[in-house]
Structure 1
């Protein structure tokens, strides 16, 4: 039975389920927890994210290169993932386990240290998990299918986290909520590792030297166009997730207990729609499908501007889910194509360093998100939950609709410059 499902899309997707439950809880509520609940100023929260990004710029490519260089009988990626699992649980709990009574600079210091530890261990997990994808699944159709299944599991994780997070922290507190999600992560990631095995033939390749590896990666034009476009779109994902609790409170004026309903409206619609985007990729190819997804995503956030209550918010969220589903499915296909072309050129599979550098570019979108929050908040006088300013409704309408629309239009324009010759892709699929 186990051999039958070895390296199956479902087995691999269990890792996405494992990571996205705590990650969604983190991305949706860490700002709300520190800014709204604990009173950390938005400016200090933005400063902490900026310091983290400086470190993230260093650790992402280092861990990617170390992963590519790893040679063990258990594979290159699996040992890193297994070793990082307990550290991830500890750092995730630390984010939401702030000691009582600390405030001001003490709160800022705790937030910064917890954030850097959490993001460092997350880097190890995401780099190595992401590097497995192009190795295990070759060609547009297998990758589109695997990506679609992976995103279904991601949406299930988002629904679980979105529905349970406010219930759990209301009933048991943020610390115990984090502990429960950490245990769920351990269970599902263990199942993933049980059903994933790396291909033995690539373990014997001699890796490129550190500087040579970076030169080959950084001078790849297609890589930069794709990931810069993706970074703007990824900003929207993070921005929507973190702003929805504020949007629900100040724009829709619904209680905290109903925030999970609003988040669910976005994610539920995604599950059936990933099949639509799988069909789009099969018909149009990876690049055109990805480009179309960005355009639809941009249009889909417009209705959020006009929502006035929970009912209209749910309807607008469902529409946004259609655009989100396309962006979740299509990028993995393009990323695989870029790595395949690099393999043809260098004679080596270098998923780790490509995944790492791409991860830094897209995760740096967190800075754009944080700056957007700070700038719009400053313009409208929002400082924190204890000092929301004269017009918090306008603040969060702009952050949930106008800013995402603008970012996605930038992403779409950049995507028009990406060209991947189809003949090169066919050769790579045969390797």
Structure 2
């Protein structure tokens, strides 16, 4: 659902509903701000929650229904003028944001609890991300086929039903630590102190800045694909599927490759290699003038995308382990929440960059034929801006201070609360 939203919501409201691009950009900024604020707030509350069903699972159960319904309604606006369509978007997306944060943040927070070492996480994350990629393929590469045959509303309902079924199935595998292992977290830190110590963690800062940059790059690529296919390649909407499917088809086997790499090097080294691959591949989108060429570039980009999917989760789990070593507390919710707060900025970056470039290039959805400058603008969006973001992410990850594959075993009563993350011995990079 998230990838369908990121890839097609701007295109749907601008191209099909006729809402001005600047208005949609403003709405996406509001969406990004709301989602960003909700992430750390719900993360801190989740860390301190105590129920007989656990800290995370109740949030997931409560949020699943509203999340699925709101997603479907995004693609089912009543017949309204552009202003009305914008109001509909803002109202429905507010519900989508609140429910989405409650569900996704708490599912993510379970990952470091279920898998305890980098080796376990790399292996465990591979099937997790394979299923995630299958969902991405259905939600992005498959979306044009769906809305092209059963309409936008049918697509929203269909994908929502599929996601609801998968969420219900996943409840059977959600395992939390026993209460005694996390009992110290409830009274230990207030909400403000949790945020303060999280933002003072140098490993987390370098990680989250790099994550924001590369996820902004990916968001720009996904949002630009429909425009790239139509104006850069001169193809019909259905060709979106081929361009997006190429990325994910390459990413599926590459996930296992990145799992092998990180288990033999370290999260930092593997992240640097994946950013280099992503930067080079994204620049290649400047070259194709035909669909086969764009598909070939997508296959190369998929290798870098697989690195993002595999390695960001592993690195963040390593940061959480290091925090527990230093503080004696398990604070997955806070870290995933603050990470979500920052990374949701990728939605804002995407909205601003895409709207600014389209506007500057002379794009006008009401025109029968767009000026040639639109082609240039779309190619810049597809290639140059993502490459810049990935290159800057490489720089940020270079300063990531945790150099070993695993952090030392946590010490329950470590008195180094607030100390800066210690440097480890350098790895391969």
Q: TM-score, normalised by structure 1?
A: 0.91
Deviation by residue 1:222-269 (Cα, 9 ceiling, x = unmatched): 111110111010011211111111111111111112221221111101
User: Is residue 408 from structure 1 mapped to residue 390 from structure 2 by the alignment?
Assistant: yes
2:42 and 2:383 mapped to 1: Cα distance? 35
Q: Hey, what does 2:427 align to over in structure 1?
A: none
Q: Helix, strand or coil: the match of 1:189? A: helix
Corresponding position of 2:417: none
Change beyond 3 A, Cα 1:423–1:395: closer
5 Å matches for 1:135-146?
135-146=113-124
CA RMSD of aligned residues (A): 1.9
CA 1:210 to 1:380, structure 2 compared with 1: closer, same or farther past 3 Å?
A: same
Gaps of 5+ in 1: 1-21
TM-score if structure 2 supplies the norm length?
0.91
How far, CA to CA, are the matches of 2:411 and 2:132 in structure 1?
A: 26
Equivalent of 1:60 in 24, 34, 39: 39
Q: Name the structure 2 match of 1:41.
A: 20
Correspondence 1:242-261 to 2 at 5 A: 242-261=223-242
Q: Deviations over 1:8-56 (max 9, x none)?
A: xxxxxxxxxxxxxx22222221111101111111111111122223323
Return closer, same or farther for 1:278/1:262 CA change in 2, 3 Å cut-off: same
How far apart are the structure 2 equivalents of 1:181 and 1:376? Answer: 30
- Count of aligned pairs: 409
- Quick one: distance in 2 between partners of 1:377 and 1:428? 50
Deviation at 1:58? 2.3
- Does residue 354 (structure 1) correspond to residue 371 (structure 2)? The answer is no
- Report whether the alignment pairs 1:370 with 2:351: yes
Alignment pair present for 1:98 and 2:80: no
Q: Aligned in 2, Cα 1:97/1:423: closer, same or farther, shift over 3 Å?
A: closer
- Cα 1:428–1:387 shift into 2, 3 Å: farther
In the TM superposition, what is the alpha-carbon distance from 1:196 to its structure 2 partner?
1.7
CA contact (8 A) 1:381 1:388 kept: no
1:187 corresponds in structure 2 to 165
In 2: Cα distance, 1:212 partner to 1:326 partner = 33
- In the alignment, the residues of structure 1 paired with residue 291 and residue 412 of structure 2 have an alpha-carbon distance, to the nearest angstrom, of 51
Aligned partner of 2:287 in structure 1 is 306
Provide the residue aligned with 1:113 in structure 2: 91
| Runs of 5+ consecutive residues of structure 2 not aligned to the other structure | 414-429
Whole-angstrom distance in 2 between the partners of 1:430 and 1:162: 44
Q: 1:37·1:385 contact (CA, 8 Å) conserved in 2?
A: no
CA distance in 1, matches of 2:74, 2:6: 11
